[in-house]
């Protein structure tokens, strides 16, 4: 047992440290920006809108970084949806969750 601890410590010390890099993760709600724009135009976007609000709330809670009242300035879901409309029209192939994270980072100041 005495030999095990120094061996494990030496092994851990010898392991290369990797810099923290942002990783891509998937969500269960796989919607692209084209689907967002089409759904909004056809008044069938409520599930996607709820996903967006939930994702923004989850990011805020998970990072303990304010989104809805960032820097003391409130925003509304309607403003978020309009931002996403514009973003998704310009980037129709992007995933909706990537667009939401982009907005979250811009508004909250979180750097990841």
> Shortest CA distance to 67 belongs to which of 82, 55, 81?
55
Residue 9 domain-assigned (yes or no): no
Radius of gyration over every alpha carbon of the chain, rounded to an integer in angstroms? 20
Angle between helices 46-63 and 33-41 (to 10 degrees): 130
pLDDT at 66 over 90: yes
Q: What is the pLDDT of residues 16-63, one digit of tens each?
A: 433 334 456 666 668 999 999 999 999 999 999 999 999 999 999 999
**Overall domain count for the chain:** 1
Residue 100 domain-assigned (yes or no): yes
Residue 35 domain-assigned (yes or no): yes
Residue 24 domain-assigned (yes or no): no
Residue 65 domain-assigned (yes or no): yes
* Residue 70: Cβ within 10 Å count: 17
Residues 76-91, buried b or exposed e (16+ Cβ, 10 A)? eeeebbebbbebbeee
Q: What is the pLDDT of residues 79-92, one digit of tens each?
A: 999 999 999 999 99
Residue 71 domain-assigned (yes or no): yes
Residue 56 domain-assigned (yes or no): yes
What pTM, to 2 d.p., does this model score? Answer: 0.75
Range in 9-23, 50-64, 97-111 the model is least confident about: 9-23
Q: Tokens for 3, please give them.
A: 């030999």
Q: Tokens for 89, please give them.
A: 């029209």
Structural domain containing residue 83: 29-108
Residue 79 domain-assigned (yes or no): yes
């Amino acid at each position: 047992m005495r030999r095990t601890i120094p061996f494990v410590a030496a092994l851990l010390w010898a392991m290369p440290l990797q810099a923290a890099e942002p990783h891509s993760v998937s969500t269960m709600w796989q919607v692209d920006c084209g689907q967002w724009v089409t759904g909004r135009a056809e008044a069938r976007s409520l599930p996607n809108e709820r996903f967006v609000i939930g994702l923004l709330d989850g990011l805020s809670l998970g990072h303990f970084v304010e989104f809805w009242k960032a820097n003391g300035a409130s925003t509304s879901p309607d403003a978020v949806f309009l931002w996403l409309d514009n973003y998704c029209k310009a980037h129709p192939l992007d995933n909706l969750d990537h667009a939401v994270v982009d907005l979250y980072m811009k508004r909250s100041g979180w750097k990841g």
